[in-house]
């Protein structure tokens, strides 16, 4: 009897079987990856703005805006000018000064930027304001807060919550995301995101026509504040050391932005707005 044929036949059958098996495994894998991609679907710009609105409302509940329309309009003008020179000029940008002595600034997804009165009063000119706003605008442009939520590094937020919201627009997911999104401002972003926002912020400020050293001079001011001062507790808890930030941003600027050093700092306009604010200031009563 010739055994060759059946052996060859069996060999072919077994090869075919393992090929089919491998193909099935690959298909399973593909299905798995597809499922994951679906869950991790990136929120649309409309979702981002909606989530930002919820988070902004929470932050405004903790610290209301300063009751000074002239000051708010001024910060909005500078902020929108800065945002126009970023990579997302078309977002519905909103800027507001919060009525608190704490020294801080926040960037909320979708284009909501807050700066505290405590920080504004420590500034010396418009280039410093522009530098801080450009740092915050970068957080929004680069989606730093949104990506922190997507990575699921926040207590109580599953990494797929944002994806599920993007898919189904569920109210439950929305509430969870907004509360997790608000939590970011108590614990801060990744250090690397802060350094990146400093590096890009000075470039945006320069593009907008300001002396790019505005942000480094604010970092210098921050580095000179006693860390035990209550006004900086949250800021220092949520940001890398100001001296380290200053060192890194300065070295990133060396030789690259020198031609912009003579750009204006705009001291007089800044001071006249601050002066008129101080003469009419009445603290907002938190309801
Ligand atoms: Zn920041």
Asked whether residue 93 carries a pLDDT value surpassing 60, the answer given is: yes
Query: Given this model, what pLDDT does residue 38 score?
Result: 46
Mean of all residue pLDDT scores within the chain: 86
How far from each other are the two terminal CA atoms of the chain, in whole angstroms? 98
Alpha helices in the chain (DSSP H): 4-39, 45-62, 69-84, 117-120, 126-141, 144-150, 161-168, 171-187, 191-207, 214-224, 233-238, 242-253, 267-280
Under the banding of pLDDT at 50, 70 and 90, the label for residue 39 is very low
Q: Is 153 helix (H, G, I), strand (E, B) or coil?
A: coil
d(CA 206, CA 285): 38
What is the CA(224)–ligand 1 centre distance, in A? Answer: 18
Residues, CB-to-ion distance under 5 Å, ligand 1: 194, 197
pLDDT tens digits along 153-170: 665 666 667 777 767 777
What is the CA(204)–ligand 1 centre distance, in A? Answer: 15
C-alpha 234, offset from chain centre: 17
Write b or e for each residue in 235-272: b if 16 or more Cβ atoms lie within 10 A of its Cβ, otherwise e: bbebbbebeebbebbeebbeeebeebeebebbeeebee
Under the banding of pLDDT at 50, 70 and 90, the label for residue 27 is low
What is the CA(107)–ligand 1 centre distance, in A? Answer: 7
What is the CA(39)–ligand 1 centre distance, in A? Answer: 28
What is the CA(277)–ligand 1 centre distance, in A? Answer: 26
What is the CA(239)–ligand 1 centre distance, in A? Answer: 7
What is the CA(18)–ligand 1 centre distance, in A? Answer: 54
In what order do the strands lie in the sheet containing 112-116?
94-98, 112-116, 105-108
What is the CA(209)–ligand 1 centre distance, in A? Answer: 21
Query: Given this model, what pLDDT does residue 1 score?
Result: 47
* Cα–Cα distance list, 26 to 21, 34, 39, 40, 48 (Å): 9, 12, 20, 21, 34
Query: Given this model, what pLDDT does residue 259 score?
Result: 83
Asked whether residue 35 carries a pLDDT value surpassing 70, the answer given is: no
What is the CA(184)–ligand 1 centre distance, in A? Answer: 11
What is the CA(50)–ligand 1 centre distance, in A? Answer: 21
What is the CA(188)–ligand 1 centre distance, in A? Answer: 8
pLDDT tens digits along 175-219: 888 888 888 888 899 999 999 999 999 999 999 999 999 999 999
Helix axis angle for 267-280 and 126-141, nearest 10°, is: 90
């Amino acid at each position: 009897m010739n055994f060759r044929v059946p052996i060859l036949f069996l060999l072919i059958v077994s090869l075919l079987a393992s090929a089919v098996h491998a193909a099935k495994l690959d298909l399973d894998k593909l299905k798995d990856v597809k499922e994951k991609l679906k869950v991790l679907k990136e929120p649309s710009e409309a979702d981002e703005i909606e989530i930002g609105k919820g988070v902004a409302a929470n932050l405004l509940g903790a610290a209301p805006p300063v009751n000074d329309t002239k000051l708010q309009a001024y910060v909005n003008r500078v902020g929108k000018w800065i945002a126009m020179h970023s990579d997302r000029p078309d977002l519905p940008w909103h800027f507001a000064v919060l009525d608190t002595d704490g020294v801080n600034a926040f960037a909320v997804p979708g284009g909501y930027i807050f700066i505290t009165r405590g920080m504004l009063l420590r500034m010396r000119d418009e280039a410093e304001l522009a530098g801080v706003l450009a740092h915050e605008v970068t957080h929004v442009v680069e989606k730093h807060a949104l990506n922190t939520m997507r990575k699921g590094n926040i207590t109580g937020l599953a990494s797929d919550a944002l994806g599920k919201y993007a898919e189904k627009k569920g109210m439950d997911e929305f509430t969870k995301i907004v509360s997790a999104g608000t939590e970011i401002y108590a614990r801060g972003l990744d250090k690397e995101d802060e350094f990146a926002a400093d590096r890009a912020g000075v470039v945006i400020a320069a593009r907008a026509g300001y002396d790019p050293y505005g942000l480094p001079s604010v970092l210098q001011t921050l580095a000179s504040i006693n860390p035990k001062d209550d006004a900086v507790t949250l800021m220092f808890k949520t940001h890398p050391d100001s001296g380290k930030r200053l060192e890194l941003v300065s070295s990133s600027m060396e030789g690259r932005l020198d031609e912009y050093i003579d750009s204006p700092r705009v001291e007089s306009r800044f001071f006249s707005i601050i002066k008129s604010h101080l003469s009419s200031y009445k603290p907002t009563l938190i309801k």
